[in-house]
Structure 1
Amino acid sequence: MTSAIIVAGGKGLRMKEMVRKQYLLLAGRPILSHTLAVFDQCDAIDKIFLVAPAEDFDFCRKNLLGSFHFEKKITLVPGGAERQYSVYNGLMAVSDKKSIVVIHDGVRPFVRHDQITACIESAKEHGACILGMPAFDTLKQVNSSGEIEKTLEREVIWLAQTPQAFQYDIIVSAHEAAAREGYIGTDDASLAERMGQKVKIITGSRNNIKITTQEDLRLAGIIMEKRLL
């Protein structure tokens, strides 16, 4: 059994819109609906848990779950004050404690089925696996004054993406340890890493963007147009 936790609890402040970023329209439908459709149509996924602000549940039922045809059952889960807490709420909603869980950003609508499946298969073997991309720009380490301290070796730097797949007990233990110690990570893999868990990383796609700014939304529109041609 494999469960997908789609995290859509963000406020979207960087988007500077009145509507949360996950509900903004892309090719005539909410960004989040495109993401849900990918996981709904992926044979490797059995159950979907959508983590969203509790106050948005009625909106989600009407404008997402009720407006688009999804084959799989999608369970709404209330989000938390931080993304990390939202993910944990999603984990607690999963009933199969021996499953693989796939955690994905609701505003990454361009992930492919084969990438999701590859993450799942690697997590079954290694315990944890994420998508990522090797850094292709020159990377600079900068201090608080905006001065370059050094140039990093980009050959060993990857940019993390989602989905991130884990054996259930591994990621739950990592989240609970972080909560006990007051640690907030930048992604779920970082929580597993600090527990000593080795995390595999496999190549994703430059199209697997996280839509957080107006520039991202414009780029997403271009990607979508090319897909529809």
Structure 2
Amino acid sequence: MNLALVVAAGKGRRMGTEGGKQFLELAGRPVIAHTLAAFEEATSIDAIVVVAAEENLQKCLEVIALYGIIKVERVVAGGDERQDSVYNGLLAAAEFEGVDLVAVHDGARPLVTPRIIDEAIGAAGDCDGAVVGVSAKDTVKLVRDGYIAETLPRDLTWQIQTPQVFRYKLLVEAHQSARREGFNGTDDAVLVERVGGRIKVVMGSDENIKITTPSDLVFAEALLKERSAKSDRD
């Protein structure tokens, strides 16, 4: 069984909105509705667990019902940090039998496609995990105290997105290790790296942006209009 864990517990402070950026309107429907629709369509995903802020649980359930997302099996409350929210989702996933792979995805990445999801799941099938990303287009430098410490080889540098897919038991182990040691990572891959996991990188898309600022919402709207126009032409 392959499970999607969609993390939608963010507060959206940088968006300057209340109620969570996942519920902002994008092309006529909430951001989270676009995200869930992609996982609903992905043939590799059997079930979905959504993690939302406690005050938004009912709103999330309403969106799921309104847009007919039938793969959602559980909606659970998140934690103080993203890492806590993912862990809460993993605990909820323990109720399901035979969970093999878990695809962790940011609820605020509504432009992910079923194809990318399926490719990430497929890539994780013969290793510890697979993450989606794009190769860096700009030169990336390591900076300490305002000064360049090192220039990283651009051909080896990737910007990592979600979904990030891992063996369920390994991801639980990685989170438990991080909790014991007080480590807070910027994504789930770094937690799996810490326990020795071998993770593939799958080519994603520059369109798979995370809605963080108002300009991101404008860009996402334009991309969806372009997709719709292309679909009409085809």
- Bin of the TM-score, shorter chain as denominator length: over 0.9
Q: Take 1:92 and 1:203, find their aligned partners in 2: how far apart are those partners?
A: 29
Q: Which amino acid aligns with 2:67?
A: F
Q: Take 1:10 and 1:178, find their aligned partners in 2: how far apart are those partners?
A: 21
The structure-2 alpha-carbon separation of the partners of 1:177 and 1:97, relative to structure 1 and needing over 3 Å to count, comes to farther
Residue equivalent to 2:232: none
Q: Which amino acid aligns with 2:151?
A: T
CA-CA distance at 1:153 after TM superposition: 1.5
Q: Which runs of 4+ in 1 moved over 4 A?
A: none
Return 5+ residue gaps in structure 1 as ranges.
none
CA-CA distance at 1:96 after TM superposition: 2.9
Q: Percent identity?
A: 44
Q: Take 2:7 and 2:39, find their aligned partners in 1: how far apart are those partners?
A: 13
Q: Does 1:88 align with 2:84?
A: no
Residue equivalent to 2:155: 155
CA-CA distance at 1:10 after TM superposition: 0.6
Residue equivalent to 1:114: 115
Q: Does 1:223 align with 2:223?
A: yes
CA-CA distance at 1:98 after TM superposition: 4.2
How do 1:185-224 and structure 2 match up within 5 A? 185-224=185-224
How do 1:154-173 and structure 2 match up within 5 A? 154-173=154-173
Q: Take 1:218 and 1:74, find their aligned partners in 2: how far apart are those partners?
A: 31
Q: Take 1:97 and 1:81, find their aligned partners in 2: how far apart are those partners?
A: 29
CA-CA distance at 1:204 after TM superposition: 0.4
Q: Take 1:98 and 1:58, find their aligned partners in 2: how far apart are those partners?
A: 26
Return 5+ residue gaps in structure 2 as ranges.
230-234
CA-CA distance at 1:148 after TM superposition: 3.3
Residue equivalent to 2:30: 30
How do 1:5-84 and structure 2 match up within 5 A? 5-62=5-62, 64-84=63-83
Q: Which amino acid aligns with 1:100?
A: L
Residue-pair matches, total: 227
Q: Does 1:174 align with 2:163?
A: no
Q: Take 2:215 and 2:78, find their aligned partners in 1: how far apart are those partners?
A: 26
Q: Which moved more, 1:97-106 or 1:193-202?
A: 97-106
Q: Is the 8 A contact 1:8 1:106 kept in 2?
A: yes
SS in 1 for 2:180: helix
Q: Take 1:43 and 1:71, find their aligned partners in 2: how far apart are those partners?
A: 13
Q: Which amino acid aligns with 2:26?
A: L
The TM-score normalised by the length of structure 2 is: 0.93
Q: Which amino acid aligns with 2:81?
A: E
Q: Which amino acid aligns with 2:204?
A: G
Q: Is the 8 A contact 1:130 1:199 kept in 2?
A: yes
CA-CA distance at 1:97 after TM superposition: 5.0
Q: Which amino acid aligns with 1:176?
A: Q
SS in 2 for 1:132: strand
CA-CA distance at 1:187 after TM superposition: 0.3
Q: Is the 8 A contact 1:97 1:168 kept in 2?
A: no
The TM-score normalised by the length of structure 1 is: 0.95
Q: Is the 8 A contact 1:48 1:72 kept in 2?
A: yes
Name the Cα RMSD after superposition. 1.3
Q: Which moved more, 1:91-100 or 1:169-178?
A: 91-100
Q: Is the 8 A contact 1:22 1:107 kept in 2?
A: yes
Q: Which amino acid aligns with 1:175?
A: H
Q: Take 1:19 and 1:203, find their aligned partners in 2: how far apart are those partners?
A: 33
Q: Which moved more, 1:116-125 or 1:188-197?
A: 116-125
Residue equivalent to 1:142: 143
Q: Take 1:204 and 1:140, find their aligned partners in 2: how far apart are those partners?
A: 22
